[in-house]
Amino acid sequence: MPEPSLRQLRTFLAVVEAGSVSAAARLLHLTQPAVSQQLRELERGLGLRLLDRAAGRMIPNAAGAALLEPARRAISAAADAVAAVAEHGRGETGRLRLGTGATACIHLLPPVLQRVKAAMPGLAVSVAIGNTGELLPRLESGDLDLVLATLPVPAGRALSTTRLMSDPLLALLPATGGDGPITARALGAWPLILYEEGGNTRAATDAWFRRAGIRPEPAMALGSVEAIKTLVGAGLGAAVLPALALRRPPPGTVTRPLRPAAARSLGCVLRKEKVRDRGLRLFLAELDRSVQDLPAG
């Protein structure tokens, strides 16, 4: 049985991602016949079909689903092979593709990236914003080099997770909201403006309320911590937010510690086989430096 080529595997993954041959062709900057030919050659070499059509989309059948992860690993390994060769160059240029939540991007990364770019001006940096669950598949497929994630992340043989810091959760209330630690029952008496469901930060918030026997019913749920801060400042309710986002509380608000205390953990997630080139090493070193410089609590 002939081995699939990287081009065939990349084409197969593009069709699965895009849902059609024509959309994959646009994604790969190829003609539609060229994509169809790559798929035919891949299926002919493997001796079976990989894709079915359902509801107007091309979807992997059982054999195709089994090929997805090996194909992603192969593409990722090829990218790492190129990086390993580049490691022997002068190290003046490179590429770093980061995934992170908006809070870390706004309140943690700017000084890190400033120092990294000063040390390596030729490093091209891109940052993708999203929840942990959205970013990890992109890391596994090789589309990202590192993800700053709210822990825990699902255990996997392909990924390595290093805990970076503990980020306390704090209550943010309008300025009339008193002072001192606040319990879940007292906070629950306010209209709650919480982060949207689906992320680990919201999960940690819900768990804190549940331990007090309270099921939070938010008046509003948003996907932006900065928007939540603004709404609390307008007197529309109270929130539970990471301390990292509250170093400078917005006007008209007050922060109060939770009783009992609660926190989320942030960590770095990489592929285990990822080559740590100069750009990535610089970033990790400066990130650790910034975390050490953060005020306690």
Looking at residues 111-122, what average pLDDT do you find? 94
Looking at residues 85-107, what average pLDDT do you find? 82
**Does the pLDDT of residue 155 top 80, yes or no?**
no
pLDDT of residue 104: 94
pLDDT of residue 134: 86
Average pLDDT, the chain: 91
Looking at residues 56-69, what average pLDDT do you find? 92
**Does the pLDDT of residue 1 top 80, yes or no?**
no
User: In which band, very low, low, confident or very high, does the pLDDT at 235 lie, cut at 50, 70 and 90?
Assistant: very high
pLDDT of residue 86: 67
* Cα–Cα distance measured from residue 122 to residue 166, given in angstroms and rounded to the nearest whole number: 32
User: In which band, very low, low, confident or very high, does the pLDDT at 99 lie, cut at 50, 70 and 90?
Assistant: very high
**Does the pLDDT of residue 154 top 90, yes or no?**
no
pLDDT of residue 161: 94
